[in-house]
Amino acid sequence: MHAQPLNLAQIMLTNSKLQCQLASSLAVRACAQPRRHRSMIRTPCVGYRFVYGPRSPNVQAGGRSPFRGLCRWGWLLVIPLLAGCAGRAPRRLTVGAEDYRPLSRVARAYGLTLTVEHHQHARLTGTPWLFELQADSRRARVNGVVVWLHQPVIQHRRHLAMAVVDVETVLDPLLRPARHLTAVERPRVLIDPGHGGSDPGARGATGITEKELVLRLGRKVANRLAAVGIEVALTRDADDTLSLAERVELTATADLLVSLHLNAAANPAAQGIETYLLPAAGQPGTADPGGNDQPAATAGNAFDGANQVLGYLLQQALLHATGGEDRGLRRARFFLLRTAPCPAVLVEAGFLSHAAEEQRWLDPIYREQVANGIVTGIRAYLALTEKGGR
């Protein structure tokens, strides 16, 4: 009696254990099979898959099949196939107290293409986005802008995985902002020049103070927003002393809060621009990777997704306007961010402790560039709320 012809519908390179077992017998039984057309198809996220079936009408009779001579070379195909059979990526896995989702499944969910190099470097791409991730690191790049994650990307059984909290509060708001933004008919923007009065904030070597510079900056931003018809207010329009509690009271009627600051550090080489938003509930801030600061949700966490969108657009616009060094979109539990009744971020627009940056801040042209960047970021955010907010 003759054996029935083997009829395999599909074999996928990164599929289940059963498919791996079928693949291992492919070379042994291939010689006994009728000649059939075999094609190789590139599919997003899952790599190459081989599809077996009748000869395609597009392949001319007598044409050379890419798998001709399988009897001779079959094992060359099967051996790497078996080597790659590490099993399908789990839907979700737990490491310590954190839930993670494999990047291959994240890519499928959002229609992105995943490329992984050496099981360490990952790229998620899809017009117009490029997410660059690194195993064992919280530092990511989104279209070239540094974005700090809550948790490091991990490697698990040859699969790279991202914390679910970062999928939900970093990727999803950027890829699907309409799900996280609320449309407001006439939004009111509140600009908060930090410090003031008896609190000078950071001080440069020339004696210039943070409170002076951010007040000038806040006025420029407010004037430009008002000039294009956006309702805007300042927490202070003079060298006044304001407590944090008084600033919070002023946010009661705001739909958007941007607090303006300048940095200082013991290390005189520290420089660059960074934008802060509130960490998700139970997650560490960027400066606390050990996770010792993980309180429960606060009022500001109601806007986690919107904060991500606002912070990213501001950081991106500031870097483009100034050419400054990118210290990234970071997370911290500053009082204003915890208590804000609206989307809120805090911008640290440079270091007065860095000699060259202090000189740039003394230049009115540079201050104009910073103001332009902030206005551009705010307007981009408001445009998204008008276009697709809930």
Q: What is the mean pLDDT of the chain?
A: 84
Residues in a beta bridge with 95: 98
Res. 155: pLDDT tops 50? yes
Domain range 93-175, CATH class: alpha beta
| Buried residues in 143-156 as b, exposed as e (16+ CB within 10 A) | eebbbbbbbbbbee
Bridge-based pairing of strands 231-234 and 188-193 is: parallel
Q: What is the pTM of this model?
A: 0.79
pLDDT at res. 94: 87
CATH 3.40.630.40 domain position(s) in the chain: 178-388
Cα dist from 368 to 224, 374, 376, whole Å? 11, 10, 12
pLDDT at res. 290: 66
Cα separation, 367 vs 249, in Å, equals 29
Q: What is the mean pLDDT of residues 303-316?
A: 98
* pLDDT tens-digit map of 38-81: 443 333 444 433 333 334 444 344 445 554 554 455 545 544 44
Cα separation, 68 vs 26, in Å, equals 14
pLDDT at res. 26: 46
Q: Which fold has domain 178-388?
A: Aminopeptidase (3.40.630)
Q: What is the mean pLDDT of residues 189-201?
A: 97
Q: In what order do the strands lie in the sheet with 98-102?
A: 93-95, 98-102, 159-163, 154-156
Lowest mean pLDDT among 152-161, 167-176, 250-259: 152-161
CATH 3.30.457.10 domain position(s) in the chain: 93-175
